[in-house]
């Protein structure tokens, strides 16, 4: 399904270039991993892509590979190859590996593992604070010099607004983006479900929408003071959408993403104590889901990510509150997003923007378009192929997905990584 360094002429594809804003049927040529002029032949292969869409390789803003630290759940090799086969040519790894990515030695170690795996490209977020402990700032300048594309404290809380402000000032002085998953730790209070009738009836500890809104308000206030660039990841509620819109109206340097499963599931999916629907932030009400979908459609939310978190079977077999949150999601990112096109919420070009152009821009990567001389990270999409998600055919080591057994229309037909 994937190929490297081929000399290929792709003919008659529907080229969706979010960077140029163009949607047209044309040819595209690859030579030695780069996009070249189509008249610069000969080519080793001519591929007729009539009826298919060619988009820039998907850039996934949040995917955990589980290596180093939890190889019983997945390895760099298994997960980066699952990503590549799914059209994802680059992933962004949060810093909450074990050990944490808070020093240059860890950045170099992860880079070595990723290079050996030879799957999708792996970009890293460095830790915002040492050990993600939330108190002492990490050496952000060293992390940037080592190649980190941003910094984050993941789902770990920052000790105080003062620490958060100093972190923003430090990152801003280096031109680094701070990636924030807005969730107030005290209000979340180790909950596992959206605060609502379903959590009450099932007796599950709840996470109120206020936990997300309060955290966003605090970060936005600090952005107003510092001018730091912040990316809000994994939004889950209508109130978060409103706060994002307000921040953008003020001209603040903010961007945002949402996990694909938040666009299709609600807290009702927890019925029957379904551990596969246990995610953080939690699945919320239908009105929240609809607000997220509208924000993706309008472009207010800049990107769709997988929030991929593969688990071993045992991690999902305990009583729901004791199970580990997360979905194995690399292999459903593109197919779920294609459903938004089918529903009329996104055009095919907007789909390419939310999956490739927007995420590449947020990470400061050059990918996300078809410029001559650019690296040929490409995904050929067959928008008509019907297929069924079957655990026996999944490449990820994690089979923990609530979409198991579902039939999808459309998937990556071929992927090139330059």
CA–CA separation, 417 and 395 (whole Å): 18
Strands 2-4 and 407-417: parallel
- What is the largest distance, in Å, between two alpha-carbon atoms of the chain? 66
Residue carrying structure tokens 């109130």? 239
Structural contact between residues 411 and 82, judged by C-beta atoms closer than 8 angstroms? no
Task: Reply yes or no: is the peptide bond before residue 207 cis, omega within 30 of 0.
Answer: no
CA 75 to chain centre: 18
CA 117 to chain centre: 20
Which of the residues 288, 307, 377, 382 is marked catalytic? 307
Strands 178-180 and 88-93: unpaired
Closest CA to 272 of 201, 327, 325: 201
Structural contact between residues 367 and 349, judged by C-beta atoms closer than 8 angstroms? no
Computed from CA positions of residues 346, 219, 197, 277, in that sequence, does the dihedral angle turn out positive or negative? Answer: positive
Closest CA to 291 of 280, 281, 282, 301: 301
Angle at which helix 209-226 crosses helix 161-174, to 10 degrees, equals 50
Q: Please say if 307 is a catalytic residue.
A: yes
- Residues annotated as catalytic (active site), given as ranges: 307
């Amino acid at each position: 399904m994937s190929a490297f360094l081929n000399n290929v002429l792709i003919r008659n594809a529907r080229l969706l270039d979010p960077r140029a804003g163009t949607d047209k049927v044309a040819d595209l040529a690859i030579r030695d991993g780069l996009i070249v002029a189509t008249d610069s032949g000969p080519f080793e292969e001519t591929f007729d892509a009539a009826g298919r869409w060619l988009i820039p390789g998907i850039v996934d803003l949040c995917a955990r590979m589980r290596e180093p630290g939890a190889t019983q759940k997945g390895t760099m090799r298994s997960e980066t190859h699952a990503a590549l086969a799914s059209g994802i040519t680059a992933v962004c790894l949060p810093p909450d590996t074990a050990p944490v990515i808070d020093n240059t030695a860890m950045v170099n170690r992860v880079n070595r593992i990723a290079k050996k795996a030879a799957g999708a490209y792996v970009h890293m977020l460095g830790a915002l604070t040492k050990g993600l402990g939330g108190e002492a700032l990490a050496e952000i300048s060293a992390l940037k010099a080592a190649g980190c594309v941003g910094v984050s404290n993941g789902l770990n809380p920052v000790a105080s607004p003062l620490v958060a402000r100093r972190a923003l000032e430090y990152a801003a002085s280096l031109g680094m983006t701070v990636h924030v998953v807005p969730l107030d730790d005290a209000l979340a209070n180790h909950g596992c479900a959206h605060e609502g009738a379903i959590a009450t009836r099932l007796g599950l500890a709840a996470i109120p929408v206020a936990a997300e809104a309060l955290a966003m308000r605090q970060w936005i206030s600090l952005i107003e003071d510092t001018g730091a660039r912040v990316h809000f990841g994994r939004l889950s509620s209508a109130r978060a959408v409103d706060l994002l819109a307000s921040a953008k109206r003020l001209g603040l340097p903010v961007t945002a993403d949402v996990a694909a499963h938040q666009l299709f599931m609600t807290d009702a999916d927890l019925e029957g104590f379904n551990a596969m629907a246990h995610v953080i932030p939690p699945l919320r009400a239908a009105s929240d889901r609809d607000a997220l979908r509208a924000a993706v459609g309008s472009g207010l939310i800049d990107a769709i990510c997988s929030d991929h978190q593969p688990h071993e079977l045992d991690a999902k077999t305990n009583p729901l509150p004791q199970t580990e949150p997360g979905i194995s999601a690399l292999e459903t990112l593109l197919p779920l997003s294609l459903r938004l096109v089918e529903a009329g919420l996104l055009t095919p070009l907007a789909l390419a923007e939310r999956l490739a152009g927007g995420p590449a821009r947020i990470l400061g990567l050059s990918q996300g378009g078809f410029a001559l001389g650019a690296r040929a990270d490409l995904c050929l999409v067959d928008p008509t192929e019907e297929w069924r998600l079957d655990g026996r055919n999944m490449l990820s080591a994690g089979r923990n997905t609530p979409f198991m057994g579902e039939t999808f229309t459309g998937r990556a037909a071929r992927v090139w990584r330059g």
